[in-house]
Each structure stands twice: as C-alpha cells, then as structure tokens.
C-alpha cells in the first residue's frame, strides 16, 4: 500500500534502509532489522515530508517571482516612446 509520504523509487528506499542499518550497526545497534529501518524512514517522511514539500514550494515561488520580475524589466526596456 502506497502512503502519501512514500516518495522516491524502491531503489532509493532500499538505499536509505541500507544506510540506516549501516549507521545503526556502527553505533552498536545491530539488532535493528530491515522493517525497523523502513519504519524509521516512514516516520521521518511522515513528520518532515510536508515541511520539506512546503520549503520546496517556497523556493519555486521565489524563483518564479524573480524570473517574472526579470521578464517585466525586459518588457519595460522594449517599450517604444512616441
């Protein structure tokens, strides 16, 4: 079942799980398994996903506003006087 915070490919998910397991093993917590690592990813995405999404939208909005201001300036330059 796909949840709204499930993003990325299966390969990305698998890579994240492997990195979490490696980090936990380095910290002496080798008893963590694949399911627990997947749960950690789900928890983080569920809690931080909306904030990350909103930051991305804010960045996109800022970029578009800058580009629109540039276009407006370019159009002002093209205005012909009588």
- Cβ distance 41 to 16 under 8 Å? yes
37, burial (CB in 10 Å: exposed 0-12, middle 13-18, buried 19+): buried
For the chain, domain boundaries: 10-78
DSSP string, the chain: ---TT--S-HHHHHHHHHHHHHHHHHTT-TT--HHHHHHHHHHHHHHHHHHHHHHHHHHHHHHHHHHHHHHHHHHHHHPPP-
Question: Does 54 score more than 80 pLDDT?
Answer: yes
Query: What pLDDT, in 10s, does the model give residues 5-26?
Result: 566 778 888 888 888 888 888 8
Q: How many percent of the chain have pLDDT more than 70?
A: 90
């Amino acid at each position: 079942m796909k949840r709204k915070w499930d993003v990325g490919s299966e390969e990305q998910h698998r890579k994240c799980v492997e990195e979490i397991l490696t980090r936990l093993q380095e910290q002496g917590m080798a008893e963590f398994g694949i399911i627990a690592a997947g749960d950690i990813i789900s928890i983080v995405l569920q809690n931080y996903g909306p904030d990350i999404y909103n930051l991305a939208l804010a960045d996109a909005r800022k970029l578009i506003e800058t580009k629109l201001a540039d276009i407006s300036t370019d159009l002002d330059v093209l205005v012909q006087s009588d």
